[in-house]
Chains A and B, each alone.
Chain A
Amino acid sequence: MSFVLRMAWREIRMAWARLAFFFLSVAIGVAAVVALRSLAQDVRLTLTSEARSLVGADLVIQSSRPLPPDTEATVNRLLAQYGAQGTTAVVDTQTMAEPEAGKGNGAVKMIELRGVESAFPYYGAIELDGGVPYSHELLAHHGVIVQPELLVALGLETGDTIRLAGQPFTVRGVLVRDRVQRGGGIAFGPRAYVDLADLKATSLLGFGSRASYQTLVRVGDPAATTKLTDALHDALPRETASVRSWQTLEDRIGRNLRLAENYLSLVGFAVVVLGGIGVWSVTRVIVQQKLRSVAILKCLGATSGRVLATYVLQIAVLAAGGSVLGIALAAAALAAVPQNLLDALGVASVSVTASAAIQGVAVGVLVSLLFALVPLLDVRRVKPLLLLRADTVASARRRTWQSAVIAAVIGLALLAVAVWQADSLRAGLYVSIGLAIVSAVLFVGSDLLVRATRGLARSRRFVLRHAVVSLARPGNQTRVVVMSVGLGCFFVIGVRAVQTTLLASLATDVGTRAPDLVVIDIQPDQAAPIGPIVAPYLRSQARVVPLMRARVTGVAGANLHLATSDDVREDGHLAREFGLTFRAGLEANERVTAGAFWTAPLATPTLPDGVDTEVSVEQETFDRAHLALGDLVRFDVAGQSIRARVTSVRSVEWDDPASGGFVFVLRPGPAVDRLAHTFVAFLQTKDNGDARGALQRDVVRAMPNVSIIDVRDVVSSIREVVDNVTTGVTIVGAVTLVGGILILVGAVAMTRFQRMRDAAIYRTLGAGTRAMTGMLAIEYGLLGLLAGALGTAGAAVLSWALARGLFDIPWQPVPGLFAAAVLGAAVLVAVVGLAASGDVLLQKPLATLRGE
């Protein structure tokens, strides 16, 4: 063993500079794993440790309308039974905020309004600007605390008055940090706190309005919290209320973020694999250069096992060193994470975690060893006879069935590492298979390049001829460069192409036919008057559609029989909340595919068979849920039940932004008219911001209870999210590309000796520096062109597949980006290749030839 240790040390000592590239390949991969995993772990630890603050209580009972008296009685009984120490009510809803007349900039803005009582919150703190301590007194008598962006949007300051649902509220504080989460759903604007009593005094909590009623419960004892949560779960009907405790939130956050951590680690793993390709490339060249040393050692009595152990140990030491450097790089990267990103993630700071560091080193060493093993195993086949006969070298590279078995075992081991990192067999398999396919395509592509350019080897131009010959020279790095640069290109261009497609689709949605404002919570008596108010600002007539929020509570059908809402939930296909509408005709984007759609409202109280009305079901849901014509579906609409017979199936063109779509459409009639419903208005304003602002002001003044969603704002928020995600993934792609370039530099450095010898001979034969530079530029340019073309083609396929398969939007080809990528890759590789070959071009031929 001591021989192996000493030899490993001696070899590293001499080849330190040459192995630096190996070192970097490992370091970049490990840095990606450690940084991404640490980030996810830090966020998870912070959020799970703050779960109680996020809930604001030990547990929360939440419903979309006030609890019915019998349910409330059950809740109170259980609270008393399990020793609840107190409860406080919170109501979340949305409304429009505007400055008092004559104040501010005259804008109106949709906000998330929360009404609270004095005991709120039980846990966690609300931090206000200027260190002002939060107390409920600030909200008393029409006080309001708002997020700073609302003040900016309305042009107001603390102390000014804003109107909410037509009533004046004085701004008494500005929120800096507020961790208590919403009950769910998307936030449509900045948050504002008012006294619950004041909120109840507005018109905002009318029947059918969008509000979330929450009862925050303090229990104190965690065991009692668990028992009470379970008891409430069992006792409360699911369609009425949901119960969540800080423990369940902790579990959910933990689960989601662990998932995120594992997926991020897979991204890191992909970078490590790229580094692994670099390791493979370096090791392959090292082994080629060490064949003679191996033969000498065998001549001196060393067995293959000992020689192999010497090199394996070297790789392990270098990989461990590279991994440590990777941890340092990760620490530096985490220290550079901007504060606003940390704020968005809800953490104060991020640093390398011990478990991420350990995993990073383990992955770095494992992947390096696995990739190095393939070329290293050639050491076993080196015959000491090559010291007497140089032609024996060739036999060392012969492939045997053992190498195939070993390659398969190494492939399986890499798969195991991927599965370990993803903590999921499926995800690990997908990533491994994806990488294998991309690598195989790039590998085959590089072979095709060599074949395709073979014809150029007959060119009359000396420089071109010899550049092409170099691509196929023995020990060439063509495959390695094409694979590494191609993969980097694939990531970067893939992400950019997906971003372009997504943003183009968003732009289309806010285009000519789509509504740019949506007015919600319009009460039935406001449905007719709203038309004349908005008409002056519109370029097409307003569409005012009735809307009910409903759940399916039962199905009696030919294929499907779901007796209770529990059965519906278990079946899953119809378990979510649906938006229901009713009308007498089809929309432009609908087509009946089975049965017949009614042509007029139902005139009788019920259908002839006693069922309340008819319902038309959207095709995809119809198929997925195994419904059939004639089935009876029972809906719960805000506590009212209605039964409807399925009489038609519609295909809906969801992409059509003008008409939108509903899964269930009811036939209007006496039973439907009795259901609590509001109206939604879809508006297309004249193309200027003033019209939208004026419209919002007029509507809010006339109907303070309604809310207006500015689709452009929503789209720009989505655009922001897309931009952030794109930036994140682009950084990963850029790391990959940097890895690819490093591999390129390494590949050039590795063939340096062969190239110097070739260059010396060319020079001796009369080739000048210009010719030599031309040869290298053409050779590397061709390599870059192919890597860019293959990577970009893969990126185009990826963006197409994601657009069509995942996002279901039309694919947007980006020919300019694709062309720039291909050319950019060619130029980049040519420049890097030339820069890394400086000494080849500058070396005097005699020095090289003498060195032989």
Chain B
Amino acid sequence: MIELTDVSRTVSSGAGTLTILHSLTLSIPRGRTVALTGPSGSGKSTLLGLIAGLDAPTTGRIVLDGVDVTALGEEALARLRGAKVGIVFQFFHLLPALTAYENVLVPMEIAGVSDAPARARRLLDDVGLGARGHHYPSQLSGGEQQRVAIARALANDPPILLADEPTGNLDTTTGQQIIDLLVTVNRSRGCTLLLVTHDPDLAALADEVLVLRDGRLVDRRVPAPPVPTAS
């Protein structure tokens, strides 16, 4: 469950203050897949960052799975992310000094999970990279890196999964594989999935699509089911 009440974000710039997200109230029930779309600069990534506790809103309150994140300090936010939020980035952001297996292991080590090695191997198997665990990120393709990132995001079985343009840096075929993987994960684990995307195919898979423009929520709709392609 993600609840936003009167959340806004302004930043200071040379010319004065700039509102990058206008007051927004929103509720996303547990288990839903929501796509956040809109043109560049519309505030999508800002909203994602606020929900992940990576940034603090100027006004309003954000509650994740019953926890008011706006009341937490940096350290508590880090612990909250470790326990309740998995994040997948457009540029993967794997730790370059660690192997794929170790990248998946890290969140569990931070959280002190006892069967972390076995879980990490299982997660890599789940994303189809069981045999590539000993490779470093630089030795993996973009799609493989993103799959490792998804496995890592799922490491602590978080109730909320956030993805920032997860296919934005991948070719169409690889992007499709990542889309399939995310959908499978969402359905099998029942977690709340919030996707920032420009990709209409990815947005079409969501239960709901939120459209942002100039920092305002301008549309909220249920997407049309995808048109089957002729094979």
Contacts of B97 in A (CB 8 A): 10-11, 13-15, 293
Within 8 A of B (CB), among A1-18: 2-3, 6-7, 10-11, 13-15
B79-105 contact mask (Cβ, 8 Å, vs A): 1 or 0:
111110001010101111110001000
Identify which of B47-55, B58-66, B170-178, B207-215 touches chain A. Answer: B47-55
A296 to B153 CA separation, bound complex (whole angstroms): 11
Contacts of A296 in B (CB 8 A): 93-95
Is A554 on the interface with B (CB-CB < 8 A)?
no
Is B152 on the interface with A (CB-CB < 8 A)?
yes
| A10 near B75: Cβ-Cβ < 8 Å | no
Is A306 on the interface with B (CB-CB < 8 A)?
yes
A301 to B153 CA separation, bound complex (whole angstroms): 11
A304-338 contact mask (Cβ, 8 Å, vs B): 1 or 0:
11100000000000000000000000000000000
Identify which of B29-37, B106-114, B120-128 touches chain A. Answer: B106-114
Contact of A388 among B94, B102, B107, B164 (CB under 8 A): B164
Residue of B nearest to A381 (CB): B74
| B45 near A300: Cβ-Cβ < 8 Å | no
| A303 near B55: Cβ-Cβ < 8 Å | no
Residue of A nearest to B196 (CB): A388
| A300 near B107: Cβ-Cβ < 8 Å | yes
| B74 near A304: Cβ-Cβ < 8 Å | yes
| A387 near B79: Cβ-Cβ < 8 Å | no
Q: A296-B95, A301-B81, A388-B48 are in contact. Are A306 and B110 (CB under 8 A)?
A: yes
A707 to B83 CA separation, bound complex (whole angstroms): 93
| B45 near A389: Cβ-Cβ < 8 Å | yes
Is A182 on the interface with B (CB-CB < 8 A)?
no
A304 to B110 CA separation, bound complex (whole angstroms): 12
Q: A300-B107, A300-B110, A301-B79 are in contact. Are A10 and B98 (CB under 8 A)?
A: yes
Contacts of B112 in A (CB 8 A): 3
| A385 near B95: Cβ-Cβ < 8 Å | no
| A297 near B54: Cβ-Cβ < 8 Å | no
| A300 near B74: Cβ-Cβ < 8 Å | no
Is A299 on the interface with B (CB-CB < 8 A)?
yes
B11-51 contact mask (Cβ, 8 Å, vs A): 1 or 0:
00000000000000000000000000000000001001100
B140-174 contact mask (Cβ, 8 Å, vs A): 1 or 0:
00000000000010001000000010000000000
A306 to B112 CA separation, bound complex (whole angstroms): 13
Contact of A14 among B55, B96, B110, B156 (CB under 8 A): B96
B150, chain A: closest CB distance, angstroms? 13
A297 to B87 CA separation, bound complex (whole angstroms): 12
| B75 near A384: Cβ-Cβ < 8 Å | no
Contact of A300 among B75, B91, B152 (CB under 8 A): B152
Is A298 on the interface with B (CB-CB < 8 A)?
yes
Is B67 on the interface with A (CB-CB < 8 A)?
no
A387, chain B: closest CB distance, angstroms? 5
Contacts of B224 in A (CB 8 A): none
Contacts of A295 in B (CB 8 A): 93
Most buried by A among B45, B102, B106, B164: B106
A302 to B95 CA separation, bound complex (whole angstroms): 13
CB contacts between A and B, total, < 8 Å:
83
Is B222 on the interface with A (CB-CB < 8 A)?
no
Contacts of B45 in A (CB 8 A): 388-389
A373-408 contact mask (Cβ, 8 Å, vs B): 1 or 0:
000000000011101110000000000000000000
Contacts of A11 in B (CB 8 A): 97
Contact of B96 among A293, A305, A306, A384 (CB under 8 A): A293
A11 to B98 CA separation, bound complex (whole angstroms): 8
| A302 near B110: Cβ-Cβ < 8 Å | yes
| A10 near B102: Cβ-Cβ < 8 Å | yes
Is A752 on the interface with B (CB-CB < 8 A)?
no
Is A233 on the interface with B (CB-CB < 8 A)?
no
| A304 near B75: Cβ-Cβ < 8 Å | yes
| B102 near A3: Cβ-Cβ < 8 Å | no
A284-298 contact mask (Cβ, 8 Å, vs B): 1 or 0:
000000001101111
Is B71 on the interface with A (CB-CB < 8 A)?
no
Residue of B nearest to A3 (CB): B109
Contacts of A10 in B (CB 8 A): 97-98, 102
| A302 near B82: Cβ-Cβ < 8 Å | yes
A296 to B87 CA separation, bound complex (whole angstroms): 10
Interface size class of B (residues with CB under 8 A): 20 to 34
Contacts of A306 in B (CB 8 A): 110
| A293 near B110: Cβ-Cβ < 8 Å | no
| B106 near A300: Cβ-Cβ < 8 Å | yes
A240-262 contact mask (Cβ, 8 Å, vs B): 1 or 0:
00000000000000000000000
Within 8 A of B (CB), among A524-548: none
| B75 near A299: Cβ-Cβ < 8 Å | no
| B89 near A297: Cβ-Cβ < 8 Å | no
A7, chain B: closest CB distance, angstroms? 8
Within 8 A of A (CB), among B172-190: none
B215, chain A: closest CB distance, angstroms? 15
Contact of B109 among A6, A298, A389 (CB under 8 A): A6
A3 to B95 CA separation, bound complex (whole angstroms): 15
Contact of A385 among B55, B78, B82 (CB under 8 A): B55
Contacts of A305 in B (CB 8 A): 75
Residue of B nearest to A292 (CB): B93
| B107 near A301: Cβ-Cβ < 8 Å | yes
A190 to B106 CA separation, bound complex (whole angstroms): 75
Contact of A383 among B48, B54, B81, B152 (CB under 8 A): B54
Residue of A nearest to B97 (CB): A14
| B54 near A303: Cβ-Cβ < 8 Å | no
Contact of B81 among A2, A7, A299 (CB under 8 A): A299
| B95 near A297: Cβ-Cβ < 8 Å | yes
Contact of A303 among B52, B75, B87, B98 (CB under 8 A): B75
| B75 near A388: Cβ-Cβ < 8 Å | no
Contacts of B89 in A (CB 8 A): 387-388
Residue of B nearest to A306 (CB): B110
Residue of B nearest to A307 (CB): B78
Q: A293-B96, A385-B49 are in contact. Are A301 and B75 (CB under 8 A)?
A: no
| B78 near A302: Cβ-Cβ < 8 Å | yes
| A298 near B95: Cβ-Cβ < 8 Å | no
A645 to B189 CA separation, bound complex (whole angstroms): 110
Contacts of A304 in B (CB 8 A): 74-75, 78
B159, chain A: closest CB distance, angstroms? 14
Most buried by A among B102, B109, B164: B109
A113, chain B: closest CB distance, angstroms? 75
Contacts of B98 in A (CB 8 A): 10
A13 to B96 CA separation, bound complex (whole angstroms): 12
A242, chain B: closest CB distance, angstroms? 69
| A299 near B87: Cβ-Cβ < 8 Å | yes
Contacts of B96 in A (CB 8 A): 14, 293
| A301 near B49: Cβ-Cβ < 8 Å | no
B124, chain A: closest CB distance, angstroms? 16
B167, chain A: closest CB distance, angstroms? 16
Contacts of B156 in A (CB 8 A): 301
| A384 near B111: Cβ-Cβ < 8 Å | no
A339-360 contact mask (Cβ, 8 Å, vs B): 1 or 0:
0000000000000000000000
A1-38 contact mask (Cβ, 8 Å, vs B): 1 or 0:
01100110011011100000000000000000000000
Of the A-B pairs whose beta carbons lie under 8 Å apart in the complex, a sample of 16, sorted by A's number, is: A2-B109, A6-B109, A10-B98, A11-B97, A296-B93, A297-B95, A300-B106, A300-B107, A301-B81, A301-B110, A302-B110, A303-B79, A387-B89, A388-B49, A388-B164, A389-B45
Top-3 shortest CB links A-B: A301-B82, A14-B97, A385-B54
Chain A residues proximal to chain B, CB less than 8 Å: 2-3, 6-7, 10-11, 13-15, 292-293, 295-306, 383-385, 387-389
Chain B residues proximal to chain A, CB less than 8 Å: 45, 48-49, 52, 54-55, 74-75, 78-83, 87, 89, 91, 93-98, 102, 106-107, 109-112, 152, 156, 164
**Apart from A297-B110, A301-B78, A389-B49: 20 A-B pairs, beta carbons within 8 A:** A2-B109, A3-B110, A7-B106, A14-B97, A15-B97, A293-B95, A296-B95, A297-B95, A297-B106, A298-B78, A299-B52, A299-B93, A300-B152, A301-B79, A304-B74, A304-B75, A384-B81, A385-B54, A387-B91, A389-B45
